[in-house]
Structure 1
Amino acid sequence: MSEDLTPVLIGVGQVTDKGRDLDDLPGPVGLIEQAVRRAFDDAGIGAARAADLDLIAVVRSFRESTPNTPASVARRLGAEKALCRLMPNGGNGPQYLVNRYAEAIAKGKNRFVLFAGAEAKDSVRRLKKAGRPIDWAEPPETEAEFLAPEPKMASGYETSHGVWLAAHVYPMFENAYRHHLGRGIGEHQMAMGRLFERFTEVAAATPGAWFPTRRTAEEIATPGPDNRFVGWPYTKFMNAMNHVDQSAAILMTSRGFAREMGVPQDRLVHLHGCADTNEPLLVSERQTYHDCPAVRMMGRKALDMAGTDIGAIDHFDLYSCFPVAVEIARDELGIPADDPRPLTVTGGLPYHGGAGNNYVMNSIAAMADRVRARPGSKGMVTANGGFLTKHAAGIYSTEPSPAHDGRGWRRENPAVYQAELDALATPPVVKAAEGDAVVETYTVAFGRGGEPEGGILFGRLGNGTDPMAPRFIANTPPDPDLLRAMTEEDFIGRRGRVANADRRNTMMF
């Protein structure tokens, strides 16, 4: 394979649009256009080169503002030849796109591609508050075609018990992780605060951060009027911030076409290693809740492809929707808990702002800037979609990878190692649960007034000694004293009885 087909990032662009007059809001397509034009400027080539694009892939926003966002972007740019596709929901999307089309470029199937996305939820919030209409529709009127299938991330069984909202699902992973470490509730609360304190330090130094404010561990971990619990043990300051107006874009091509277009050498960023993995689609069908085999496999495969190890990575951006996403990724990748290397280059989803499914586009753009500032250094980006469900990683550097010398850029087919993950044994799931049971993990959902409203848990039938005992989902009675106790005592391993009525399980203690 010719070196000329080595895939490279050549241009990145990011936009944070805050406080604009209501009569001048750009909307998602406008935000994307701004980021794309910045990416062309970053590459040192004019936006007229958009005519050479053969693919435009846009990451789906939470609220699609027009029937065919990719085609609308192409129309604005004059990219008439580009195949236009929409990437389905999932925070793994941007890194998945880089991985997939790096391979396509290396095989000569694509030559010049654009990835972009945006979220304008802050504009939506402001317009609704002002009683103003929201209409950002623009041509064409044809519906967008998806790049990949979009599976449902929760079953009816899960949804009926409250296992569908990220702010209530991730806390159950967190409590399982805490219990596995043997930490007390207060001790772990401060550990989460210290973890994200470091993220706020990066956000405070990042011009595009939505919340460029340094916060102490105590501020982050302690509930209060401005920092209520959402899904215990997470306070508001520990939750991803989606109500932003942000966008990002990436231009990717081959080294050969980059030279042909006149892209300066110092703009090139190489993908040394990458991997894509998945956990079982449904949260109720996971092997455990305190770790993540898919992240472990993803990290190993990406590092092996790059011919390096975790100790040689200089910069990280670990997906950070909630603390446990960072903690599990850090542990599975083999990064020591006391490692001095920052785990973000943006400030993370709660503080930089997470533009919906597109946050990792910002991560990759920021990582490109970071490795360019230190030529030869290596940066790792991880991405996560769903509920620790869909995973992707990329390892970046300004220099070509020595691991690819003599054989060109190629990666192992993700389906090969995914088969190993799919073969892992998981406990059976029972929908109508009856009898003695133990709590496997849980959370307490809080209302906006700061009061606990309900308990959600995963449990196992029996006495807790059989690792393959049937698993079930249940709620608790809406007893305020019980709900408070569940936030003050560790209920994992607590015994009780579960009963089913009206297609819902309730566990009583």
Structure 2
Amino acid sequence: MVDPRTPVVVGVGQFTERIDDPDYRGMSAVELATEAVRAALADTGVDPTAVAAAIEVFAGLRQFEICTPQPPPLGASDNYVRSVAQRVGANPARAVLEPIGGNGPQKLMTEFAGEIADGTIEVALILGSENGSTLKTFAKRSAGDKPDFTERIGGQLEDRGFGYEQYMNEYTVKHGLTGAPVQYGLLDNARRAKLGCSVDDYRRQMAELFAPFSKVAAKNPFSASPVERSVDELMTVTAENRMICDPYPRLMVARDQVNQGAAAVVMAVAAAQRLGVPEDKWVYLRGHADLVEQELLVRADLGTSVSAELAVTEALRVAGIGLDQVSSFDLYSCFPFPVFTVCDTHGLATDDPRGLTLTGGLPFFGGPGNTYSLHGIAETVCEMRGRPGQFGLVGANGGVMTKYSVGVYSTEPADWVADRSAALQAQIAALPEVAVTRDVDATGVIETYSVRYDWPVTTGIIIGRLDDGSRFMATSTDADLVALMAGGDPLGQRVSVTAGDGTNQARLA
């Protein structure tokens, strides 16, 4: 027996609309989420209407289309969360909209499971969706040939804001850190520097990591791109597999132009019993942790993630198990680095026979914005139901390895155990920081780099070190330096840097 307030996940749902489907509709974010929520309610095994009526909190994940102050191109609901709630016959006392960040699904799961455990609420639902495919489909059509998804719903909404300030600042934006590929390119190349790998060897390692992910995605009915890819196919640059930002060809980049939705229902054991939810539906959140990394430029080691390392360790401690007792993983995989760093810090082989994904990963299953790990949670819950007593681990990452949330799931009953994330966060805050020199007129060496092939002019993006040990950023369109960055190996190369108009420009020294 467990405390009746112990939280259990009792229903999960997913939905995917592919552009090559014969009945492709080009759905809105609300419509996609609604399909997933309906599936989650039905998955509880009891009357969906009764479950919907019992939900006190609807917690939603912010879509890309409402991640900036700009109006959504096809219109949107003024209260995404309540638009979905109304469609499924729910009227929650509280609606929440989370800031941007791929850690959001697991963070919300831990947050509201904790509120259930302390008796604040009994039933919550987490939902998310992304309609990137719809936005792309209608982007170039005339105004009269586009849908209008505008809804005026009103009502209470706890909007937690955009949250960009945790991921970027004026200095990094001016130096090209706009978009995820270039930022993760810096991290993967920093890791390559630590390992002493050549460019070609590292690209093969990335492809060897991701090829098994594509094999999983090829068998997943919810995948946006259910195609198995070989190592050679992933690593070979072609017209189809063009370079996006060094070191990534297109097939190693999260696929964000997808139409996908996911949802999960979590409730107290007492509520599950009262509603008649069968016990074979119950999955416990046995371990959990949520941590935030230092800002990018002050991290002592750009080739690892302290927050991911500590969050995984803490979630396992809370669950009372070791890594060897985990039977399944779904590690956030927008790019290779987030998977590599968890493997590096925990001695987990990249070809571990347990596999590192249940969905198929963001480049292949799909990367629906901030919602991806809700699909990972849904897959893990289903997996654990089929493996009674075993444990599944979900690693959810947000920003530039900025925020990392971990959940450990199992059908094995246990009372809720609080984590020590606050104490661990203080430990991260106390870590040494690298000094940053913003305006540079000197020579320095390249610590890590990326190349933006997605800009009109191919541009090198550099994080470097000055002789005094401080760190700086620079961009470069210098032909010789860009040629080295694109076709050679510039790590450790000395460059001459000149400041002007708030940015530093680099050329070969």
Give the TM-score taking structure 1 as reference length.
Answer: 0.93
Residue in structure 1 matched with residue 371 of structure 2 by the alignment? 358
Residue in structure 1 matched with residue 40 of structure 2 by the alignment? 39
2: CA distance, partners of 1:305 / 1:2 = 16
Residue in structure 2 matched with residue 13 of structure 1 by the alignment? 13
Cα pair 1:36 1:116 within 8 Å, conserved: yes
Q: Does 1:435 align with 2:442?
A: yes
Aligned length: 494
Question: 1:209 offset after TM fit, Å?
Answer: 0.6
1: CA distance, partners of 2:231 / 2:22 = 35
2: CA distance, partners of 1:183 / 1:380 = 30
Question: 1:148 offset after TM fit, Å?
Answer: 6.7
Q: Map residues 136-147 of structure 1 onto 2, 5 A cutoff.
A: 136-141=149-154, 144-147=157-160
Q: Does 1:266 align with 2:267?
A: no
One-letter amino acid matched to 1:485:
L
Report the RMSD for the aligned CA atoms in angstroms: 1.9
2: CA distance, partners of 1:487 / 1:142 = 52
The CA deviation string for residues 243-297 of structure 1, in whole angstroms up to 9 with x for no partner, is: 01100000000111101100011100111100000112x3222222111111111
Give 3-state SS (helix, strand or coil) of 2:365's partner: helix
Residue in structure 1 matched with residue 460 of structure 2 by the alignment? 455
Question: 1:133 offset after TM fit, Å?
Answer: 2.2
2: CA distance, partners of 1:47 / 1:372 = 20
2: CA distance, partners of 1:170 / 1:38 = 34
Residue in structure 1 matched with residue 60 of structure 2 by the alignment? 58
Q: Does 1:117 align with 2:116?
A: no
Residue in structure 1 matched with residue 69 of structure 2 by the alignment? none
Cα pair 2:134 2:259 within 8 Å, conserved: yes
Give 3-state SS (helix, strand or coil) of 1:29's partner: helix
Cα pair 2:218 2:226 within 8 Å, conserved: yes
Question: 1:312 offset after TM fit, Å?
Answer: 1.0
Cα pair 2:100 2:164 within 8 Å, conserved: no
One-letter amino acid matched to 2:255:
M
Residue in structure 1 matched with residue 100 of structure 2 by the alignment? 89
Residue in structure 2 matched with residue 309 of structure 1 by the alignment? 322
Indicate how the Cα distance of structure 1 residues 192 and 7 shifts in structure 2: closer, same or farther if over 3 A, else same: same
Cα pair 1:103 1:410 within 8 Å, conserved: no
Q: Pick from 392, 395, 399 the counterpart of residue 386 of structure 1.
A: 399
Give 3-state SS (helix, strand or coil) of 1:374's partner: coil
Indicate how the Cα distance of structure 1 residues 368 and 439 shifts in structure 2: closer, same or farther if over 3 A, else same: same
Q: Does 1:174 align with 2:175?
A: no
Indicate how the Cα distance of structure 1 residues 23 and 177 shifts in structure 2: closer, same or farther if over 3 A, else same: closer
Q: Does 1:103 align with 2:126?
A: no
Indicate how the Cα distance of structure 1 residues 104 and 502 shifts in structure 2: closer, same or farther if over 3 A, else same: same
1: CA distance, partners of 2:24 / 2:433 = 53
Residue in structure 1 matched with residue 505 of structure 2 by the alignment? 506
Residue in structure 2 matched with residue 228 of structure 1 by the alignment? 242
Give 3-state SS (helix, strand or coil) of 1:154's partner: coil
Question: 1:138 offset after TM fit, Å?
Answer: 1.8
1: CA distance, partners of 2:280 / 2:26 = 34
2: CA distance, partners of 1:81 / 1:61 = 21
Give the TM-score taking structure 2 as reference length.
Answer: 0.93
Structure 1's unaligned 5+ residue stretches are 402-407
Cα pair 2:106 2:405 within 8 Å, conserved: yes
Give 3-state SS (helix, strand or coil) of 1:353's partner: coil
Q: Does 1:27 align with 2:28?
A: yes
Indicate how the Cα distance of structure 1 residues 487 and 149 shifts in structure 2: closer, same or farther if over 3 A, else same: closer
Residue in structure 1 matched with residue 481 of structure 2 by the alignment? 482
Q: Pick from 279, 289, 301 the counterpart of residue 293 of structure 2.
A: 279
The CA deviation string for residues 385-411 of structure 1, in whole angstroms up to 9 with x for no partner, is: 11100110000111114xxxxxx3121
Question: 1:47 offset after TM fit, Å?
Answer: 2.3
The CA deviation string for residues 63-121 of structure 1, in whole angstroms up to 9 with x for no partner, is: 13211101112222232243111011000000000111111111001100000010111
Q: Pick from 204, 226, 229 the counterpart of residue 190 of structure 1.
A: 204
Residue in structure 1 matched with residue 428 of structure 2 by the alignment? 421
Q: Map residues 191-340 of structure 1 onto 2, 5 A cutoff.
A: 191-280=205-294, 282-340=295-353
The CA deviation string for residues 32-75 of structure 1, in whole angstroms up to 9 with x for no partner, is: 11111111111012221211111001100001321110111222
Question: 1:413 offset after TM fit, Å?
Answer: 4.1
Question: 1:24 offset after TM fit, Å?
Answer: 4.2
One-letter amino acid matched to 1:245:
N
2: CA distance, partners of 1:128 / 1:491 = 38
1: CA distance, partners of 2:5 / 2:403 = 28
The CA deviation string for residues 342-361 of structure 1, in whole angstroms up to 9 with x for no partner, is: 10000000000011100011
One-letter amino acid matched to 1:93:
G
The CA deviation string for residues 428-460 of structure 1, in whole angstroms up to 9 with x for no partner, is: 1111112121111001111389xx700001111
Structure 2's unaligned 5+ residue stretches are 67-75
Indicate how the Cα distance of structure 1 residues 279 and 121 shifts in structure 2: closer, same or farther if over 3 A, else same: same
One-letter amino acid matched to 2:57:
L
The CA deviation string for residues 171-201 of structure 1, in whole angstroms up to 9 with x for no partner, is: 1101111111111111111111111101001
2: CA distance, partners of 1:223 / 1:14 = 33
2: CA distance, partners of 1:143 / 1:287 = 43
Of 13-22 and 169-178, deviating more is: 13-22
Of 97-106 and 127-136, deviating more is: 127-136
Indicate how the Cα distance of structure 1 residues 461 and 134 shifts in structure 2: closer, same or farther if over 3 A, else same: farther
The CA deviation string for residues 214-243 of structure 1, in whole angstroms up to 9 with x for no partner, is: 110110011110000000110000000010
Indicate how the Cα distance of structure 1 residues 144 and 5 shifts in structure 2: closer, same or farther if over 3 A, else same: closer
1: CA distance, partners of 2:245 / 2:172 = 16
